[in-house]
Amino acid sequence: MLRRVMIALLIVGLAPGLWWQMPRPAPVYEQRVDVRPVPVDPALAQLGPLRLSGVWHLTSPHEWFGGYSALVAVRPGRLLAFSDRGYAIDLPLPGSPAVEPARILTATGDDKALKASRDIEAATYDPRQDEIFLAMEFRNAITRTTPALQGWQMAFPRLMQGWSGNQGPEAMVRLADGRFVVLGERDGGWRDRDSHPALLLAGDPTRGTSEQAFTYDSNGGGRPTDMAQLPDGRVLILQRTLLWPFPPRFSGAIALADPATLQPGGRWRGKVLARLEAPLPVDNFEGLTITPAPGGKVHVWLISDDNMAVTQRTLLWRLELDLADLPAMERPATR
């Protein structure tokens, strides 16, 4: 959605003759990814209970690079990001002794299809079955595939079909108990910016399961863009706000929510833990995943969608979190 807004503004601002006469360079498919550290003022690194411990700027000449909207950790020491153009990047963790370099590949198997048919906005991993699930915007679908991105099984959850095509499923997590939570981007309009459509699935949607709708309350933190489950069962939800459309500027937030408080038909509210704002190096953060860290802590990784715009960057953030520092949250009484 953000990319379409910026393209429309760009077209308005350029003379039609200049726009159509711009030559398109020949595509490059060089498998090279440059990872450059971005300095951060240590005085700004503490973000609530999270500490920013690393920022990197990713670049590549590859035609398929950029636009990353989803992030998962499937293999130790590596991250797998998916783009809203249907591509993926398999990336070693910065600073790790990687045996294999980064790889840029097609995720959908059809790089000629329309973008609307391969727009990946969220991803989640099932370690028990070794399967990846992808949320597809425009199609309002959920796809199951392998870590090698071989074979596709697609489902179209009934309660998700009414979601706006360009503001559909943006965040998704498979919980440890096998349920799936899916959050939509669309908000409730100027009267209720914090309300977002959401879906609870009892199991794997591609194998058939029951569906229940509810509402996600982003609590003033912007629109949800990704989510992942912590070892204690709660989830972190990445949220994003567009501050100015052209040139684009963004702020973000990380919220905490407890699936134990989720009630079908109810309102599920996130508690904002941290604000992601300038002067920190921020961009359009759309992907989040969690990996183990030394001392019982976790690393929270964020990746930004550069919208293929020269004014934006693909940034990778690493935040450190001690679960003991998280605030307590009210849970329903047990019977």
Residue 165 structural domain: 2-25+36-325
Instruction: Supply the CATH number for residue 256's domain.
Output: 2.120.10
Residue 15's pLDDT is what?
36
Terminal Cα distance for the chain, rounded: 45
Domain assignment of residue 335, yes or no: no
pLDDT in tens, 11-39: 444 333 433 445 768 889 999 999 999 99
Per the domain annotation, does 319 fall within a domain? yes
Residue 56 lies in a domain: yes
Rounded Cα distance between 285 and 314, Å, is 9
Instruction: Supply 120's token pair.
Output: 């990946």
In angstroms, the Cα distances linking 331 to 182, 234, 323 are 21, 11, 17
Q: Confirm whether 30 is domain-assigned.
A: no
Asked whether residue 331 is domain-assigned, the answer is no
Domain count of the fold of the chain = 1
For residue 248, tell me if it sits in a domain.
Answer: yes
pLDDT for residue 290 is more than 50:
yes
pLDDT at 311: 93
List, in order, residues 6 or more apart from 12 with CB less than 8 Å away: none
pLDDT computed for residue 21 by the predictor = 46
